[in-house]
Amino acid sequence: MLDEHLRHNRQMAFVTGPRQVGKTTVCRAAGSVYLDWDNTDDRRVILRGPSAVADRAGLSRLHARPPVVVFDELHKFPRWKHFLKGFFDTYASQARIVVTGSSRMDVYRRGGDSLMGRYFLYRMHPFSLGEIAWQNIPDPKRLVRPPKRVAAADARALWDHGGFPELFVHRALRFTRRWSALRRQQLVREDIRDLTVVRELAQMETLAELLQERSGTQLVYSNLANEIQVSVDTVRRWVESLCGFHLGFLLRPWFRNISRSLRKEPKWFLYDWSSIDDQGKRAETFIACHLLKAVHGWTDLGFGQFQLGYLRDKSKREVDFVVVRDGKPWMLVEVKNADGHLSPALRYFQEQTKAPFAFQVLLDADFVEADCFASHRGPLVVPARTLLSQLL
């Protein structure tokens, strides 16, 4: 995705994603010149201004292709937007620019954005079955790829250890547990402490521990507020901060009337499903992370505007996930650990929403070499390994 951007676009690429997801590794591999704000030598170059960076990148020399300049952790520079605007406006015809670092870069770019029109956003996610099976960009007309079998050992490692590169490669349970706990502690004690005005870090760390246990469940802010002895508004702000730093993400019930959706309590999901003990919650979180990655990827590639939510009505009928494409329900997904009766709610909501695809996904089912999207029909029971191999 990043290589395609650098070949075809002059805009800067903003690469965001969770801590330790591999942003720096990917961007350094794509770049000709790498400047890290946390490196004191690189910081001096940046502080001397755009012309000093241009000298470091050799932009005055002839190149077969424009050099790629990568800025890492640049958000820690108080005037980073002003610097980037000046560098881009002066040297966009001579260089390609990638900006990465904080998982909060997509938050920093909002509001009074002087860089509007000068960048495209790309959101990195942990590994998925689709990424293990395929490394190419899908056909924009079809969105999904053909089904492809993933090696059993890789599929098992993804489930047991999660999709963060170091965990997936290492594949040791003790290492996974220690790494996941340390990542969560560092996110609260270092990232949030350094980049927000949150002072009650002990209580926020307690909130993070509570959310660790509640992935795949609907959040009731008033209950959380009572448990950690803060106001409901404070809990809402803290949950948003934890989302901004990619501890997890929120999904809201989908309604055609957006204001109705905003009035409902959202569901919470962790990015690191390997740290979830409950098998049902882990299964739902595993699928949620795969679907969110696909939704973000399709949107960032310009294939349309995609959203991920869930469906629930006053009769308490519920479907775990709905993928919305350009404002219309496109795919419904219900998650099951093992085979069973087809969910009546899945059939009901497909009839109500007219979504072309509705899948009851079985986590424990063996791969079937058949296209889940081959035809528009009623609800279909499909193996997770088949469906997810067709996504990003």
pLDDT digits (tens, 9 = 90+) for 348-357: 999 999 999 9
Q: What is the pLDDT of residues 201-234, one digit of tens each?
A: 778 888 988 998 899 999 999 999 999 999 999 9
> Taking residues 294-317, what's their average pLDDT?
94
- Please state, rounded to an integer, the average pLDDT across all residues of the chain: 90
- Read off the pLDDT band of 375 (50, 70, 90): confident
Check: pTM over 0.75? Answer yes or no.
yes
Question: Cβ neighbours of residue 333 under 8 Å, at least 6 residues apart?
Answer: 287, 291, 319, 320, 321, 322, 323, 358, 359, 361, 387
What type of residue sits at position 88?
A: F
86 touches 50 (CB < 8 A): yes
What domains can you pick out in the chain, each with its CATH number?
2-123 (3.40.50.300), 129-389 (no CATH)
**pLDDT top residue among 204 and 191:** 204
> Taking residues 371-381, what's their average pLDDT?
90
Question: Cβ neighbours of residue 178 under 8 Å, at least 6 residues apart?
Answer: none
> Taking residues 117-131, what's their average pLDDT?
94
How high is the pLDDT of residue 113?
Answer: 58
How high is the pLDDT of residue 75?
Answer: 85
> Taking residues 300-328, what's their average pLDDT?
94
> Taking residues 79-101, what's their average pLDDT?
93
pLDDT at residue 141 greater than cutoff 60: yes
CB atoms within 10 A of CB 281: 18
392 touches 378 (CB < 8 A): no
Of 323, 320, 334, the C-alpha closest to 363 is 334
Q: What is the pLDDT of residues 25-79, one digit of tens each?
A: 999 998 889 999 999 999 999 999 999 999 999 999 999 999 999 999 898 888 9
- Read off the pLDDT band of 101 (50, 70, 90): confident
CA–CA separation, 205 vs 74, rounded Å? 27
Q: In b/e form, how buried is each residue of 300-312, taking b as 16+ CB within 10 angstroms?
A: bbebeebbbbbbb
Q: What is the pLDDT of residues 250-267, one digit of tens each?
A: 999 998 764 555 457 899
**Range with the lowest mean pLDDT among 123-132, 259-268, 289-298, 343-352?**
259-268
- Read off the pLDDT band of 149 (50, 70, 90): very high
Q: Which two tokens stand for residue 348?
A: 């009901």
